[in-house]
Amino acid sequence: MEFRQSGVLAALINYNETEAKLSGLSRENVIGRNFFTQVAPCTNNFMVAERYHQNEAIDEIIDYVFTYRMRPTEVRLRMLKDANQATQFLLVERI
């Protein structure tokens, strides 16, 4: 997933078909919405969302459990952020 951070808004700008099928959320319904509050509120916490709100670069991999709109699903998240760019990435691997 690719999103653009502007203040506290993390608007999704790219969401692939694989993620749409796995999550049950269509691309049309998530593009432009705030990822952390409207698409995947289970990530709106200190482990994920808060890391993107900090003013530092991120290249980190964590084990996580998605719980929103699906049964608990274990995943590995790779969080990518350049402190000088507004566009940020969250890669999801099912484990």
List CB contacts of 12: < 8 A, sequence separation 6 or more: 1, 2, 3, 30, 31, 32, 33, 34, 35, 39
44, 37 Cβ separation under 8 angstroms: yes
Confidence of residue 93 (pLDDT cuts 50, 70, 90): very high
Residue 3 has pLDDT above 80, yes or no: yes
pLDDT digits (tens, 9 = 90+) for 23-66: 888 999 999 999 999 998 999 999 999 998 887 899 999 999 98
Please state, rounded to an integer, the average pLDDT across all residues of the chain. 88
Number of H helices, E strands in the chain: 3, 5
Which CATH fold would you assign to the domain 2-94?
A: Beta-Lactamase (3.30.450)
